[in-house]
Amino acid sequence: MVDHSTTRPIAERSGAIAVQIIHKSLIRETLKMFTIVLVGAMSIYLVVDFFEKIDDFLESAVPISEALIFFLFRLPLIVVQVTPVGVLLAVLLVLGLMARNNEVVALQSGGISTYYLLKPLLVLGLAFGLCLFFFAEVVVPITMAKANYIWKVKVKSKEQLASFRQKDIWIKGHRAIYHIAYFNPVDNSISGVTFNFFDDKFNMAKRIDAKKGIYEDGQWLLHDCVEQIRLKNGSYQVAYPSQRILRIDLAPENLKTLVKTSEEMSFNELSTYIEKIKQEGYDPTPYQVDWQAKLAFPSVCLVMTLMGTAIALRKRKGEGLATGVAYGIGVAFCYWVLYGFCLSLGYNGVLRPFVAAWLTNTIFVLLGIVMLFHSGASPQ
């Protein structure tokens, strides 16, 4: 007679070893496929970016070596932007190939459920997310600051007439010095502004202080103003208009190229900036949305892992691997459109910053879970 009490533990150990082997193989193949997809996507991105910007480099007579350094500094940002799509396609291709070769059916027949296939992929997605957060937090702010300097100063020949000190922007214009306490890039408004105008001997000719300014039709509409005009006798005439229209050589596009963007700031730096904006009494909503997005974006790797698994394991007759890849690209496109739309709603105050940054992830996680159950997946 066979002693089943002895054979059962041996069978269980053999099954555990088999699962470990499958997990390692799945992770290895996914990493291999991810590398291929990432290199391919980055190459396409760089080629498009190169042909889009090379004319500007040539017109500004910037050396080729400087152009190569510019694109090198942009690589970390490209990696961050491409990684989620690379994770999605890598998971989809690996599981899609396994499904086409009936390996998934064979594993399920052997008692290995979809849950055991999903588990190592989710761990891998979490690892990708942590790496993405590190890259976006540590590497991208440094490299993008250097890339933007090359582009704005050397290529576009914009003189550094402004200094960014977290809460103050100083700009030197033609016989004028502008001070802006806060610039909101969403509605093109400025707050806490002072415009100093000088004569040809650099004597103060006029000064305008305003609580807020909005750019409309090529001019600034200032609110709650204090206007001081220097008279010929050296005294100043003071007026307090509620509104004042001002035409100067300064547009929101100039401010956007001069101030530091959220992608150039680290997580802690952005947090400090938000607190300073609050203390000054200005609206920090756009930067609060970006702060939440810095947390939400890395988790997209987990979302794409779940969606890739759900798409690959769909049971549809007549659908091949190419169809699955097309579905994956469509899902990635829909994700970015919805993500950008939610962020724009957050910037405009329609959604709270937390909701604006995390809503897309929540929707796609729920969609992925529904698709997994619909495909017959079971956690058992």
pLDDT, tens digit (0-9, with 9 covering 90-100), for 305-331: 988 888 887 766 556 677 778 888 888
Total Cβ atoms within 10 A of residue 61:
9
At residue 379, the pLDDT reads 44
Average pLDDT, the chain: 81
Task: Give the pLDDT confidence score for residue 366 in this predicted structure.
Answer: 93
pLDDT in tens, 17-27: 656 777 788 88
Residue 158 pLDDT greater than 60, yes or no: no
> Comparing 156 with 35, which gets the higher pLDDT?
35
Give the rounded percent of residues in the chain with a pLDDT score beyond 70: 84
pLDDT reading at 2 higher than 50: no
- Residue 318's pLDDT is 56
In tens, the pLDDT along 98-118 reads 777 777 667 666 666 667 777
Q: Distance between CA atoms of 182 and 212, rounded to whole angstroms?
A: 9
Tell me what the mean pLDDT of segment 162-170 comes to: 57
pLDDT of 380 reads 46
Comparing CA positions, the residue from 297, 301, 315, 299 lying closest to residue 357 is 297
Given a cut of 90, whether residue 361 has pLDDT beyond it is: yes
Entry pTM:
0.74
Q: Residue 184 has what pLDDT?
A: 82
Res 144 pLDDT > 90: no
Can you give the pLDDT at residue 8? 47
Extract the tokens encoding 285.
């909503």
Query: Which pLDDT belongs to residue 160?
Result: 42
pLDDT above 50 (res 6) = no
pLDDT of residue 18: 58
Parallel, antiparallel, or unpaired for β 169-173 and 176-184?
antiparallel
Q: 183-200: per-residue pLDDT in tens? A: 887 788 888 899 999 888
At 162, the pLDDT band (50, 70, 90 cuts) reads: very low
Q: What is the pLDDT of residues 69-96, one digit of tens each?
A: 998 999 888 888 889 989 998 888 888 8
Burial 62-72 (b: 16+ CB within 10 A, else e): beeeebeebbe
Residue identified by tokens 């101030």 is 259
Q: Does the pLDDT value for residue 223 go beyond 90?
A: yes
Cβ 90 vs Cβ 30: under 8 Å: yes
Residue 202 pLDDT greater than 90, yes or no? no
> Quick one: which H or E segment has residue 193?
strand 189-198
Q: What percent of the chain has pLDDT over 90?
A: 20
